[in-house]
Amino acid sequence: MSKFQAPRGTRDLLPADRAVFLRLEDAARDLAMRYGYAPIETPMFEGSTVFERGVGEATDVVEKELFRVQAGRGEAERERWALRPEPTAGICRAYVQHGMRTWPQPVKLTMTGPMFRYDRPQAGRYRQFWQFDVEVLGDAGPAIDAEIVELAMAFFGEVGLTEVQVLVNSIGDTACRPAYIAALADYFRGHTDELPELERGRLETNPLRLLDSKDERMQPLIATAPTITEHLCDDCQAHFDGLLAHLEAVSIEPRLEPTLVRGLDYYTRTAFEFYRAGAEGQQQALGGGGRYDGLFELRGGQPTPGIGFGIGLDRVALALAEQDAQPLAETWRPAVVVVGADPQDTVVRLQLATELRGAGLACRPDLTTRRLGKQLDGAAKAGAHFAIICGDELEAGNVQVKDLMAGTQRQIDVTELARDLVRAHAQHRHGEDG
């Protein structure tokens, strides 16, 4: 095996793969902005306390999966850093730091980029992964909860992923959750002998985390555990009822899942996850999110309601491949390759390609000195739709246009070339998409 390998749990996104991610990122950004979410970018690393206090010190993310960064010498040695495992904590830090409380409320933000968790690598789950994130800060009502669920479902539809279902739950708030946690702890203490060692520790530190256990031995116990919906206070019940009413209004039929708690400590009230039909399970979620109305208080800030979601683009890309949504993978290929009958005349190929790119076409000139046949072979292997052949006809202002997909060839005036190719390529793509 070669010594030159990407670190375990990571991978290189080669051109075709990266093109899929760019398409997903573009769709995510454009859709979020259509919904009124402004783009933001936070650093890939933060002071580790941002995540310890925000995400929760007793969570798997902080206890086992946080990538801690060793800084350089000198003053930096006293700093404690960590790579971001999720975007919410950093965005909330930015909200406070930059005085976004004085902006018109609510503040609606979106971000797409890499996150890092020291997780067990498996299909669609990596230690460096890409996430589409939206956050709403400053709105406590159930209507905004429904809006971001609708936004997520619209994203799946936008990229062509079908049969996606949303699971929803309410996990209460500080008024009603303590009584539920007490009931949950009493239940699991009655089954101490059946608890794996790790879960016994969680029973004492955070019993709610037991419902989020990845250990298969826990599933029978979780199935018969008390549910939070039996313990909701009137305000939390009203909020949950409001969420369901708004989802119904936009024709979204969620599945109620009373054991859904999510894996981060900051969630309150609304919690949700997205799955493809028949692919449910803790390692199969496409994404999820929820409300975190108490997060700012945990960090010593003023009370600020918030809600958001994160969608794993790695998971979405894998699901699209399993669904055989191949058009996504072809978006990086050039529409046109410019070749030359005279192998030595690269100047005219470069000039013509520059003109075609200026017209909005994805165009690549073959600037090698290979024979024409080899240049045409290269254009076909690149997946180009057209090859433009610069030959003797160019003296009269004409070129040969070879349709590499149809196998036809025709002569065309250079002055009409760009307009003709744009129209022909658009018709071809429309036919594919239709």
Lookup: tokens for 206: 């955070």
User: How far from the centroid of its chain's Cα atoms is residue 152's Cα?
Assistant: 10
pLDDT for 330 equals 52
Q: Where are the alpha helices (DSSP H) in 250-346?
A: 295-298, 313-322
Measured CA to CA, the distance from residue 129 to residue 120 in angstroms comes to 13
**Structural domains for the chain:** 15-176+232-327 (3.30.930.10), 185-228 (no CATH), 334-433 (3.40.50.800)
What contacts 74, CB < 8 A, 6 or more positions away?
A: none
Q: Where are the alpha helices (DSSP H) in 4-139?
A: 15-34, 48-54, 60-63, 88-97
Q: Which of 29-33, 83-87, 422-426 has the highest mean pLDDT?
A: 29-33
pLDDT in tens, 34-63: 999 999 999 999 888 777 765 555 555 566
Lookup: tokens for 171: 């996990």
Q: What is the mean pLDDT of residues 359-381?
A: 93
pLDDT in tens, 242-285: 999 999 999 999 999 988 887 666 788 999 999 998 766 556 88
Q: What is the mean pLDDT of residues 210-220?
A: 82
**Angstrom distances, CA of residue 267 to CA of 177, 206, 213, 409:** 11, 14, 16, 62
- State the residue for tokens 């909330």: 92
Counting residues of the chain whose pLDDT is more than 70, the rounded percentage is 89
The band of 216, judged by pLDDT with boundaries at 50, 70 and 90, is confident
The residue type of 153 is M
Whether 61 and 264 have beta carbons less than 8 Å apart is answered as yes
Whether 349 and 299 have beta carbons less than 8 Å apart is answered as no
pLDDT in tens, 100-147: 999 999 999 999 999 998 877 777 788 999 999 999 999 999 999 999
Phi/psi class of residue 278: alpha, beta or left (left: φ > 0; alpha: ψ in -120 to 50)? left
Measured CA to CA, the distance from residue 181 to residue 173 in angstroms comes to 11
